[in-house]
Chains A and B, each alone.
Chain A
Amino acid sequence: MDAHHARYPFFESARQAVGEAGVDLVTLIREGHPAVERGRERVQRALVAGTVEQASDQRVDARTEVLSYPIARVLVSLVDAPGAVEKYAASEATTAHERFVEEFERGRQSTLGGDPLTLDAVLREFDLASVVRSDGTDTDPTEYRVAVGTYLDLAPAGDDWRLVTRELADGWVTVTRRELYDLLERAVERRVADGLPLTVPEEIADPLAAVVSEVESALATATYPRSFDRVDPGSFPPCMQALLDRARSDEESLSAAGRFALVSFLGALGMDGEAATTLVGSADESLAYAADRLDGGLYPPPSCSTMQAYDVCIDPDDRCATIDHPLEYYAEALE
């Protein structure tokens, strides 16, 4: 189990490596292998923060990271929260997307060592090599062509993806490189969601019960105001104002946690994807995408302590000292 497997544990090769290593999940769980704790973090961060990246700088070893994935799949199957599986798969995919882009674009060695991943390798991984083309001569193409069936299959929701607005010739849709990465994200999401929720036998579920309820209680943030009669960005807490500015700016982009915080905050104010996109402006496409799939505020926006942990509590002011949740801040500021 190497660094590639650790970064992309849903790859077929990672699955094989786990198989060949003859790892027994039941034993791992019974013995409290660190992969269980990392698996919990994986699911919890996926559901709360929209990413599966580790929170601490203290990296776990590759083997633990790889094994945390099958454990996370078990855990998310046991978590009792609506849409947990979908949200988990989407967060795995968001993180994978960020990692792909990092490796493709900067051609940079992965931080865990090993050769950087190539686009071709990812296309092959998802059986997309024959349905994605670039114009042969260009070594660093900015546009690709995707077979229309594949395009329809993987395109996210959203006006920019409507086929009718697209260049389509002889069965191939033109996409930008960035859009191709979005399509790959969907392929990852599909792969992760495939087979979930798992049917978990008791011998695995029972020893995980405590871990599962830990995740569930992290989700249950019951103590913030839930309804607002208007959207007034002037009354947003400093963190949300800062995130909004970043989302609107061309130069900065939001981290996954920042995007999740902002989108779920707007969702909690009763804004749907379209309203959120209008407020933000169309500068940040992935934000629009996230907002579109928000499912009516199903996922509660993070509390101040979570915001701090993910480094998106930005410029707290005096009022912040009196509240625990950005929505609480907003409710008070509105009055």
Chain B
Amino acid sequence: MNQRTREYLRGRFGDHYRRVSVELPPATDRREWGYIPFTSSEGTTMVRHKSAFDVGDLGTFLTRERPRHVYFSAGRYDDPGARSMNEKGWNESDLVFDLDADHLPGVDPEEDSYASMLATCKEALERLLVFLEEDFGFDDMTVVFSGGRGYHVHVRDESVRSLDRDQRREVVDFVRGLGLEDVSQLTTVETVAGMGLKNPVEKRTLRTDGGWGQRVQSRLVALADEVREMDEEAGVARLQEFEGIGEKGATTLYNAVTNNYEQVAAGNLEAAGQYTRKLAQLFLERAVVEDGAPIDEPVTTDINRLIRLPGSLHGGSGLAVTRIARDDLDAFDPLVDAVPETFVDHDIRVDSPVERTVELQGETHNIPEGIATVRECVGVHLMARGDAEKASE
């Protein structure tokens, strides 16, 4: 990024901050603040360990300093401006989740377009929200488009703010389905035919009142419902599609779902000998892949993490870090809704070393090699990414 580009972006970021007012997070003055300025050096140096007092009025700070990136801490402290974590005196932290397209399975950052990466990421976000809303039942959640390649969720329910790292890791493992190897981990065992007898029979039942056990059960029930409607031949054929289920197993299972449906539906893994368990194991593996939310663990477990400030601009994309109301999430399109108003009305001239395509505001913009006139948001996006420089007007 050359000096002209840097000064241009910094100036326009300032214009933007004059137009908008950035909403502050709760307990602003107990949090640490940090920012990365527009500097000439290539390395990005973060200015941190600032208290709200150091920063002063946020609006004034943003319009005066015009930083490239702005962060605040998930943690709340006695003395947020102190230089070491020890001196800061940690009180509690928001529980923060980060979904980053770069780390998602099935995403190839080299090959996939920005738009398609963000779309994949939004699907992962929806899976995450199922856990946070239905399993964890959190109330105080803020969903944010990061302005870059993903989404953040800030949870501020009082019950989780005091969790330590290890406890947060339990939450991470839960939403990722990490450590679930064998479906028996999700069962209760009842020893039938008498305690202490030789060879007592173990009866395993899925624990179905929420969590992963319930996710396995709902898949079992769906299959049972499907197969039960079929005649024996079709049902057995359908069941044989599952790995490790042969004709004998499929027939046993078919009989179980037709004659003993209640038991199968209740999660009794002995309802068809070993075969129910086999199916349940397959469904567990599927559930982890299909339902798991591949969040970035270190962000959630780091109680001192600095996170992008919602409402600020992302200096690597020129997009706004955008709070998304829960009801607006379905319709939210980051490449439309996170484009700052400030940058939509004008055209500017940029210099791109190669031909490029940019999807923004619902349109595909073709950028030729060399100097071209583009809509400002497209130019800002390219320059912030380091893909183009400002050309003189």
Given A162-B173, A164-B180, A165-B180, A171-B138 contact (CB < 8 Å) = yes
Given A162-B179, A250-B196, A167-B170 contact (CB < 8 Å) = no
Which of A153, A170, A171 contacts B167, CB < 8 Å? Answer: A153
Establish whether residues B211 and A169, one from each chain, have CB atoms under 8 Å apart when the complex forms. yes
Establish whether residues B174 and A163, one from each chain, have CB atoms under 8 Å apart when the complex forms. yes
Establish whether residues B134 and A164, one from each chain, have CB atoms under 8 Å apart when the complex forms. no
Q: For the complex, is B325 an interface residue (Cβ under 8 Å from A)?
A: no
Given A149-B159, A162-B173, A171-B180 contact (CB < 8 Å) = no
Given A147-B159, A148-B159, A150-B159, A168-B135 contact (CB < 8 Å) = yes
Binds A, one of B65-73, B113-121, B202-210, B248-256: B202-210
Chief secondary structure at chain A's binding surface = mixed
CB distance from B121 to the nearest CB of A (A): 23
A168 CA to B132 CA in the complex, in Å? 11
Establish whether residues A170 and B213, one from each chain, have CB atoms under 8 Å apart when the complex forms. no
A149 CA to B93 CA in the complex, in Å? 13
A118 CA to B209 CA in the complex, in Å? 27
Q: For the complex, is A166 an interface residue (Cβ under 8 Å from B)?
A: yes
Q: For the complex, is A251 an interface residue (Cβ under 8 Å from B)?
A: yes
Q: For the complex, is A152 an interface residue (Cβ under 8 Å from B)?
A: yes
Chain B residues whose C-beta falls within 8 Å of the C-beta of A91 in the assembled complex: none
Which of B134, B185, B196 contacts A170, CB < 8 Å? Answer: B134
Establish whether residues A167 and B160, one from each chain, have CB atoms under 8 Å apart when the complex forms. no
Given A150-B159, A152-B163, A165-B185 contact (CB < 8 Å) = yes
| Complex interface residues of chain A between 222 and 273 (CB less than 8 A to chain B) | 249-251
A167 CA to B177 CA in the complex, in Å? 13
Chain A residues whose C-beta falls within 8 Å of the C-beta of B211 in the assembled complex: 164-169
Chain A interface extent, by class: 20 to 34
A327 CA to B178 CA in the complex, in Å? 40
Minimal Cβ-Cβ distance residue in B for A166: B211
Establish whether residues B137 and A171, one from each chain, have CB atoms under 8 Å apart when the complex forms. yes
Q: For the complex, is A277 an interface residue (Cβ under 8 Å from B)?
A: no
Chain A residues whose C-beta falls within 8 Å of the C-beta of B8 in the assembled complex: none
Q: For the complex, is A77 an interface residue (Cβ under 8 Å from B)?
A: no
| Complex interface residues of chain B between 133 and 150 (CB less than 8 A to chain A) | 134-138
Minimal Cβ-Cβ distance residue in B for A149: B159
Establish whether residues B170 and A251, one from each chain, have CB atoms under 8 Å apart when the complex forms. no
Q: For the complex, is B171 an interface residue (Cβ under 8 Å from A)?
A: yes
Establish whether residues A164 and B213, one from each chain, have CB atoms under 8 Å apart when the complex forms. no
Minimal Cβ-Cβ distance residue in B for A251: B196
Write the residues of chain A forming the contact surface with B, with a CB cutoff of 8 angstroms: 131, 147-150, 152-153, 159, 162-172, 174, 249-251
Q: A164-B174, A174-B209, A251-B195 provided; 15 other pairs, C-beta below 8 A? A: A148-B137, A148-B159, A149-B157, A152-B163, A164-B180, A166-B211, A167-B207, A167-B209, A167-B211, A168-B211, A169-B209, A171-B136, A174-B207, A250-B196, A251-B196
